[in-house]
Structure 1
Amino acid sequence: MRKLFCILVAVVWSLVSFVLAILAMVVTVNPANSVWVARKIWSPVLLWAGGAKLEVLGGENVDARRPTIYVANHQSAIDIPAHFMAVPIPFRYVAKSQLRWVPFIGWYLALAGHIFVNRDNRSKAIASLDAAAEKIRSGKSIFLYPEGTRSPDGRILPFKKGPFALALKARVPICPVTIEGSGKLMPKSTWNITPGPIRVKIGKPIDTTGFAENDREGLARAVRAVVIEDSLSLGGLGGDVDDAVAAAGIEGRSTARARASSST
């Protein structure tokens, strides 16, 4: 029954919220107000329908006055409303291009100025990151999932390097964001809902100016090390023991933490 209830609520409330978001953009001539609708109206109802109890740690690390790239691990489709609520600023998502065709959600993302990345086409992917850089230069923050897909078991997947090349080019801070519990509540590729807690931890911003302009791999390792460490602290599985983070080790975590502290 909960599965059917959640599907019904998601469809109906997404339609209602889509209309409200369009009205907010048209009446105020400000696309940022559509993000307010997503955060204040759409997201809370979806989390309520799924029986999610959201807990946010590190909210003091969010600064609406500072253009920032927020990067997070990805466990579930319900991460999107959870992150809208956890990071209460008018950021723009960088999302995979397939979402563009999802009714209401994809339409909203397109009209509100969120950015789609076509990972199957290198030139289009580069153009998408250039569009994200333009958003940052205009003072906006962006939010993205560097794993590129949802984790099937909750472990942190390898990070793609494109987002970190963008951060180094823009020279803006990166805030690591870690989510735990959403994969248990709503596993990947299913509508089977198990009510429970979702915990989001927002790390201190990492100063990208401490990295060489071409050191996207080093930046990715440092940020991912923080996400894995925070995943473990939240009761998650962290990452694979034989992946790139193992090579970064304590040095990667301590370097990221030191650069985060120096940027605050």
Structure 2
Amino acid sequence: MFLFPFTFLTLLILGGDATVWICRHLWSPVLLWAGGARLVVHGQENVDPRRPTIYVGNHQSTLDIPAHFVTVPVPFRYVAKSQLRWVPGIGWYLWIAGHIFVNRRNRQAAIQSLEIAGRKIRNGTSIFLYPEGTRSPDGRILPFKKGPFALALEARVPICPVTIEGTGKIMPKNSWDIVPGPVHVKIGKPIDTTAFAPDDREGLARAVRAVIIADSLELGGKGGDLEDAIAAAGHEGFSRPSPAAEKIS
């Protein structure tokens, strides 16, 4: 919160990339320190700031955002769900710095948001997104939504799988209880999207998810079900609508 006025002035004077620098070097380290997170980074040599890249990560905790700012040292923009726009502090920052909000309840609006992301990529800006669409409640890798992979196939830029392990133990979903501990982030080798057919969203999603599951297990995490790979349309975290959602519908 106290960095917001400074961040806003920086945006006006220097532009959006400078605000990413502030988050990487000031805001994120403070949050990680406050949470007692001890970062361990693997595979940072797979980050190439000279090329636009889509970074795709699993999602365990609110702490993932500052952890990824620190461990992926390029001025990327997040693709975030639209509800975050109204969160004091982080929502304001995401808005003024030019990160992309997606309204997943409105398919047309979501498509338009991904088109904006596509323009940023074509202009040389890297993107970071969480295709599970929500934080995992138990650390297991949830099914992926296919939409983000349409963006990757259209832009024809590499995808770097990014696996995080430990933030869910420090600050679990829907909890403010903090238990300090290590956080491992592994940045995988870039995946060539041109090796996939232009409409093979599911194939690309499965390939990226398989790498993240394997790296999760390597880092001591729970991995995920390789077969339960693709989220149901309009739903997050389920390969089919949850029982509660089915009753509502």
Matching of residue 16 in structure 1 with residue 7 in structure 2: no
* Of 117, 141, 161, the match for 2:126: 141
**Number of residue pairs the alignment of both structures matches:** 230
Structure 2 gaps, min length 5:
231-249
TM-score in terms of structure 1 length: 0.86
The alpha carbon displacement at 1:242 in A equals 4.9
Aligned to 1:5: none
SS in 1 for 2:162: strand
1:20–1:37: 8 Å Cα contact kept in structure 2?
no
Describe the shift of the 1:137–1:196 C-alpha distance in structure 2 as closer, same or farther (beyond 3 A). same
Q: Distance in 2 between matches of 1:75 and 1:217?
A: 22
The alpha carbon displacement at 1:240 in A equals 2.5
Deviations 1:167-191 (A, max 9, x none): 0000000000000000000000110
Map 1:1-264 onto structure 2 (within 5 A).
Answer: 15-28=1-14, 30-240=15-225, 242-244=227-229
2:60–2:136: 8 Å Cα contact kept in structure 1?
yes
Q: Distance in 1 between matches of 2:147 and 2:61?
A: 22
SS in 2 for 1:205: coil
- The one-letter code matched in structure 1 to 2:139 is G
- Paired-residue identity, %: 72
- The one-letter code matched in structure 2 to 1:60 is E
Deviations 1:184-214 (A, max 9, x none): 0000011000000000000000000000000
Q: Distance in 2 between matches of 1:19 and 1:85?
A: 21
1:17–1:38: 8 Å Cα contact kept in structure 2?
no
The alpha carbon displacement at 1:244 in A equals 3.4
Q: Report which structure shows greater RCO (CA 8 Å, sep ≥6).
A: 2
Deviations 1:17-56 (A, max 9, x none): 212211211222x211000001000000110011110111
2:32–2:63: 8 Å Cα contact kept in structure 1?
yes
Describe the shift of the 1:203–1:241 C-alpha distance in structure 2 as closer, same or farther (beyond 3 A). closer
SS in 2 for 1:94: strand
Structure with bigger helix share is: 1
2:31–2:66: 8 Å Cα contact kept in structure 1?
yes
